[in-house]
Structure 1
Amino acid sequence: MSSVTVLRGPERRRRWSRTEKARIVAESLEPGAVVTAVAHRHDVHPNLLHLWRRQARQAAGRGVSFLPVRVAVEKAAPAGSGSIEIELSSGTRVRVDAQVDEGALVRVLRALGR
């Protein structure tokens, strides 16, 4: 019969502070950095470093961000624009502005004059 030896000792799992995680993630995001190399340099499993990077991206997405805005300038109406009121013999009043289509106005006046 064989025996099994159970080793008891301090836990291998290390607790990382937010500052340490942020520093290691920032190092892994530098141009030319290799995630695996950064992880080994800090004695972190590469999968854990990938998790921290994903969490950092998600946290950054929840932050405040600003988008460029373009304000469209409204064209001012011509200085001479105004309106005219036409009173027909029947007492009906028609008010039109200076931009009225002449053909449409003639048709309206003919229809009202009947």
Structure 2
Amino acid sequence: MQVKVLGAERRRRWNYDEKVRLVEETLQAGETVCGVAQRHGMAQSLLFTWRRQARQGRLGGEAMPAHVPVEITSTSAPASACAPPPSSWLPAQRARAGIVEIELGGCRVRVDRDVETEALQRVLELLRRR
């Protein structure tokens, strides 16, 4: 068997910081995945994969916070919604990730340091009424 090397590998290796920077760039207002991919000479599918991995906390490095839609209603939640925190949540992880933990009325709310003030106020007001 004979193997011929036809040239240097053309695949680019992206480190974690580059991936995060490019994913964040796609999330800017008025920006598209297509535009970012073209500017950086890369495949759109790779950016879509990184965005999905980031949402799932699997991009590598520390997990990126996910943005999820929240609907606030006036109906009270069942008591089981106030479950104790998982034992795997370590204080060192909380400090490193910038997480704020608020305990109110038997429920525990954890928010990222970048939480919108108005949204947090609405959530806390609903918990105070319970």
TM-score w.r.t. the length of structure 1 is 0.50
Q: Secondary structure at the match of 2:12?
A: coil
User: Helix, strand or coil: the match of 1:9?
Assistant: coil
Aligned equivalents of 2:26 and 2:128: distance in 1?
Answer: 40
* Pairwise CA distance, 1:7: 6.7
Q: How far apart, CA to CA, are the structure 2 residues paired with 1:46 and 1:26?
A: 14
The aligned residue for residue 37 of structure 1 is: 35
* Ranges in structure 2 where 5+ consecutive residues have no aligned partner: 58-64, 67-96, 100-109, 112-119
Q: Which has the larger radius of gyration?
A: 1
- In structure 1, the partner of 2:49 is 51
Identity of aligned residues (%): 43
Supply the distance in 2 between the matched residues of 1:72 and 1:34 (Cα, whole angstroms).
42
Amino acid at match of 1:49: L
How far apart, CA to CA, are the structure 2 residues paired with 1:34 and 1:71?
Answer: 41
Structure 2 CA distance, aligned partners of 1:24 and 1:71? 40
Which SS does the other structure have where 1:71 is aligned?
A: helix
Q: Is 1:14 matched up with 2:71?
A: no
Aligned to 1:54, the other structure's residue is in SS state: helix
Secondary structure of 2:46's counterpart equals helix
**Structure 1: gaps spanning 5 or more residues:** 1-5, 74-114
Aligned residues: 67
1:54-88 residue CA offsets vs partner (Å, 9 max, x unmatched): 11111135x86437342247xxxxxxxxxxxxxxx
2:25 aligned residue (13, 27, 30): 27
> What is the RMSD computed on CA atoms of the aligned residues?
2.4
Q: Do residues 71 (structure 1) and 128 (structure 2) align?
A: yes
Does the residue aligned with 1:21 lie in a helix, a strand or coil? helix
TM-score, length-scaled by structure 2: 0.45
